[in-house]
Amino acid sequence: MYRRALIYNPVAGRLRRNPQLLSRILGSLGSNVSPVPTSGPNSATALAREAVDRGVDQVIGFGGDGTLNEIANGLVGSPVPLAVLPGGTANVLAVELGLGTNPLTVARNLDALEPRRIAASRLVSHRESRHFLLMAGAGLDAHIVHRLKPSLKNLLGKAAYWLGGFGSVARRLPEFDLKVDGRSLRSSFALISRVRNYGGNLEIARGVRLTVPEFEVISFEGKWAPIYLKYFSGVLLNRLKGMEGVTVQRARHIELGAGAPLQIDGEAVGHSPAKIEIIPDALTLLMPARYGSDAWM
What CATH number corresponds to the domain at position 181? Answer: 2.60.200.40
DSSP per-residue string spanning 253-295: EEEE-SS-EEEETTEEEEESSEEEEEEEEEEEEEE-TTTTSTT
Quick one: 267 and 129 in the same domain? yes
The pLDDT value recorded for residue 172 is: 76
pLDDT of 296 > 80? The answer is no
| Domain-located, residue 42 | yes
| Domain-located, residue 117 | no
As a whole-number percent, the residues of the chain with pLDDT over 70 amount to: 89
| Domain-located, residue 243 | yes
Alpha helices per DSSP H over 167-210: none
The pLDDT value recorded for residue 31 is: 81
pLDDT of 17 > 60? The answer is yes
How far does Cα 141 stand from its chain's mean position? Answer: 13
| Domain-located, residue 84 | yes
Quick one: 200 and 246 in the same domain? yes
In sequence order, which residues have a C-beta less than 8 Å from that of residue 68 and are 6 or more positions away?
61, 82, 84, 93, 133, 265
- Count of domains for the chain: 2
DSSP per-residue string spanning 216-254: EEEEE--SBTTHHHHHHHHHHTT--TT-TTEEEEEESEE
Other Cβ atoms less than 10 A from the Cβ of 166: the count is 11
Quick one: 23 and 107 in the same domain? yes
| Domain-located, residue 289 | no
pLDDT of 24 > 70? The answer is yes
Quick one: 130 and 275 in the same domain? yes
Q: Please, what is the average pLDDT of the chain? A: 88
pLDDT per position as a tens digit, 148-188: 555 435 543 444 444 444 455 546 788 999 999 999 999 99
Cis peptide bond N-terminal to 213, omega within 30: no
Quick one: 106 and 133 in the same domain? no
pLDDT of 132 > 80? The answer is yes
| Domain-located, residue 14 | yes
CATH number of the CATH domain containing 97? 3.40.50.10330
Q: Which of 128-132, 157-161, 268-272 is the least confident region?
A: 157-161
Dihedral, 13, 162, 102, 43 alpha carbons, nearest 10: -40
Helix (H), strand (E) at residue 117? strand 114-125
Range of the domain at 190: 123-280
Distance CA 147, CA 165 (A): 10
| Domain-located, residue 184 | yes
The pLDDT value recorded for residue 39 is: 92
Reported pTM: 0.87
Residue that wins the pLDDT comparison between 164 and 213: 213
Quick one: 166 and 132 in the same domain? yes
Residue that wins the pLDDT comparison between 146 and 257: 257
Q: Pick from 112, 145, 162: which residue ends a domain?
A: 112
Q: Which residues pair with 8 in a beta bridge?
A: 37, 62
| Domain-located, residue 82 | yes
pLDDT per position as a tens digit, 62-103: 999 999 999 999 999 999 999 999 998 788 999 999 999 999
The pLDDT value recorded for residue 152 is: 39
